[in-house]
Amino acid sequence: MTARRPDPALELTGRYVRLVPLAVDDLPELFAALGTAQTFAGGYGGGLAPVDDPRLTLEGFVDFMAGYLAFGRGSVFGVRLRGGEHDGALIGTSTLGDLELARESAHIGWTAYDHRVWGTVVNPEAKLLMLGAAFDHGFGRVKLQADAKNSRSRAAIERLGATFEGIARRDAPRVDGTWRDAAVYSVTVDDWPHVRDGLQGRVDAWSDAPIDLPAK
């Protein structure tokens, strides 16, 4: 199957989350979910600046994310909750990017969520939807990666069922001037049936109740 780019208007709907195209105009709303030190401390966006990180302000966050996310170069999704008191709440973002059609290769990344949904069904279902979309569009390999020092993100990727491929050394600069090594994982089209079943099992095992957002 020849890989093809997803429609820019692609939406993906699950039981607990809905993935919709994210626009620059949505970034102030996203700031309410992600504009905290917890978002960046693990390495997201190059990590947390040692002093007075400007991304913890609305203006600084919007300026950074407008350049950091792959607008115009991939499917940048806003992750919104489905059902319950917080139906429609924007609680994160993830992107299907680095689309190489001839190589049938893509990259799911640039992912961050409101810390209140960490450890819930949000990420497994979002990745179930995004991986399914990638393989439905003819991609044969999807890369996922994290800062090699970010144990929480690496564990989340491993729980998806992705295969560890190795460490890409000196992959990207951090905000503090050091360089990160990237832990690289992948899911191939041959892996997908097993990975899909595992993710679907995690979604099915979750409570039927919609995701709750405790007060910050």
pLDDT in tens, 176-187: 999 999 999 999
Q: What is the pLDDT of residues 75-90, one digit of tens each?
A: 999 999 999 999 999 9
What value does the mean pLDDT take over residues 66-75?
95
Q: Which of the residue ranges 23-27, 37-41, 212-216 would you say has the lowest mean pLDDT? A: 212-216
Give pLDDT, residue 127: 98
3-state helix, strand, coil in the chain (%, to 5): 35, 30, 35
Confidence class for position 216, pLDDT limits 50, 70, 90: confident
Name the nearest CA neighbour of 93 among 117, 118, 76: 76
DSSP β-bridge partners for residue 145: 184
Average pLDDT value for residue range 85-112:
97
**Which among 16, 35, 19 has a CA at the least distance from the CA of 199?**
16
Which two structure tokens, joined as six digits, stand for 190? 């041959």
From residue 178, how far is each of 50, 80, 152 by CA, in Å? 12, 34, 20
Name the residue among 48, 10, 42 with its Cα closest to residue 112: 42
Contacts of 159 (CB under 8 A, 6+ apart): 124
**Tokens encoding 206:** 């979750």
Q: What is the spatial distance between Cα 164 and Cα 160, in angstroms, rounded to a whole number? A: 11
Instruction: Give the class (CATH, top level) of 12-205.
Output: alpha beta
Rounded CA separation 47/30 (Å): 18
Q: Cβ contacts of residue 206 below 8 Å, gap of 6+?
A: 16, 120, 121
Predicted confidence at residue 208, as pLDDT, reads 86
Residue 132's pLDDT band (cuts 50, 70, 90): very high
pTM: 0.96
Determine the pLDDT at residue 1.
65
Mean pLDDT for the stretch of residues 198-202:
98
| CB burial readout 106-140, b (16+ within 10 A) else e | bbbbbbbbbbbbeebbbbbbbbbbbbbbbbebebb
Q: What is the mean pLDDT of the chain?
A: 96
Q: What's the pLDDT at 215?
A: 87
Query: How many Cβ atoms are within 10 Å of 1's Cβ, its own excluded?
Result: 11
Counting runs of H as helices and runs of E as strands, what totals does the chain give? 6, 8
Q: Is pLDDT above 70 for 151?
A: yes
